[in-house]
């Protein structure tokens, strides 16, 4: 059983899909300690260390809503380090310039082309901002000018765990931050029919970056979309 098959099996079990007990026992016997660990990517050109409370909130939601064995600690690793290729999920964000060096570019491309998943969030919420323009230029350089496309509204990501009929808005969209536009879409890059890069201009990272004690005041848990993103990444 390879890593992708193992992760798919674990996610099916977490989502309540019937799985052979024998297969499940075999998978767990060969499993690493955790099914999921949150990996943040450092890159040389910009401010990668944003939304510092966000990973803990996503980790908590995964523990609350799923049966995945989730590492309670955030992992931070340089994009230039080949070890990042072993992560089940990576997060990359910032406000400033994204300009990969040779090692960063090599690892990003190899990771995505070989089944990895990177969630990229524009903390500026600005399609004309420095982060958006420079990151999109990097994707064009690596994957081609037409690779980054809007996800269809019925994309499987929106029903990978919870069901979303509409993409959740963020407070930063509604209060005029950034480009003052409510973006009703996410973008992505597919490799062989599988989403390998998920790209947001909605600033979800900041939306999910709050003191966990304040979560009880939310009418609806706004991290549920993050659960979908992770479950899609692990199960596809």
* Residues near 189 by beta carbon (within 8 Å), at least 6 away in sequence: 112, 139, 143, 147, 148, 149, 195, 196, 197, 199
Are residues 3 and 85 both part of a single domain? no
Identify the band that residue 21 occupies on the pLDDT scale cut at 50, 70 and 90. Answer: low
Are residues 211 and 107 both part of a single domain? yes
Neighbours of 60 (CB within 10 A): 15
Are residues 115 and 185 both part of a single domain? yes
Are residues 114 and 202 both part of a single domain? yes
What residues form DSSP beta bridges with 93?
121
Nearest to 90 by CA among 58, 123, 136: 58
Least confident of 69-73, 86-90, 108-112, 206-210: 206-210
Q: Are 54 and 211 in contact (CB under 8 A)?
A: no
Q: CA–CA separation, 117 vs 111, rounded Å?
A: 8
Find the mean pLDDT for residues 198-202: 93
Residue-level pLDDT at 11: 44
Are residues 65 and 130 both part of a single domain? yes
Are residues 64 and 106 both part of a single domain? yes
Are residues 20 and 65 both part of a single domain? no
Predicted structure pTM score: 0.83
User: What's the domain count of the chain?
Assistant: 2
Are residues 164 and 231 both part of a single domain? yes
Are residues 57 and 107 both part of a single domain? yes
Identify the band that residue 232 occupies on the pLDDT scale cut at 50, 70 and 90. Answer: very high
Q: CA–CA separation, 56 vs 208, rounded Å?
A: 9
Are residues 25 and 96 both part of a single domain? no
Structural domain span for residue 9? 1-31
Q: Cα–chain-centroid distance for residue 21? A: 29
Are residues 127 and 207 both part of a single domain? yes
Q: Is 111 helix (H, G, I), strand (E, B) or coil?
A: helix
pLDDT beyond 70 at 135: yes
Q: What is the CATH number of the domain that holds 214?
A: 3.40.50.12140
Are residues 47 and 99 both part of a single domain? yes
Identify the band that residue 13 occupies on the pLDDT scale cut at 50, 70 and 90. Answer: low
38-72 pLDDT, tens digit per residue, is 999 999 998 999 989 999 999 999 999 999 999 99
pLDDT beyond 70 at 113: yes
Cα torsion through 50, 189, 45, 223, rounded to 10: 0
């Amino acid at each position: 059983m390879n890593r992708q098959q193992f992760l798919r099996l674990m996610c099916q079990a977490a989502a309540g899909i019937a799985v052979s007990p024998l297969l499940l026992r075999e998978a767990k016997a060969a499993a690493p300690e955790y099914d999921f660990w949150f990996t943040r990517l450092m890159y040389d050109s910009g401010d990668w260390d944003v939304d510092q409370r966000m990973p803990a909130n996503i980790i908590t939601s995964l523990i609350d809503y799923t049966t995945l064995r989730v590492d309670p600690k955030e992992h931070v690793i340089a994009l230039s380090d080949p070890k990042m290729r072993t992560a089940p999920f990576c997060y990359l964000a910032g406000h400033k310039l994204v300009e990969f060096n040779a090692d960063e570019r090599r690892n990003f491309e190899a990771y995505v082309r070989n089944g990895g998943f990177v969630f990229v969030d524009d903390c500026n919420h600005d399609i004309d901002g420095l982060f958006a323009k420079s990151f999109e230029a990097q994707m064009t350089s690596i994957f081609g000018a037409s690779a980054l496309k809007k996800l269809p509204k019925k994309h499987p990501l929106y029903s990978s765990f919870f069901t979303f009929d509409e993409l959740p808005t963020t407070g930063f969209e509604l209060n005029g931050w950034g480009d003052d536009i409510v973006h009703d879409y996410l973008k992505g890059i597919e490799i062989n029919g599988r989403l390998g890069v998920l790209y947001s201009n909605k600033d979800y990272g900041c939306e999910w970056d709050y003191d966990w004690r304040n979560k009880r005041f939310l009418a609806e848990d706004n991290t549920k979309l993050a659960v979908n993103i992770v479950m899609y990444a692990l199960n596809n």
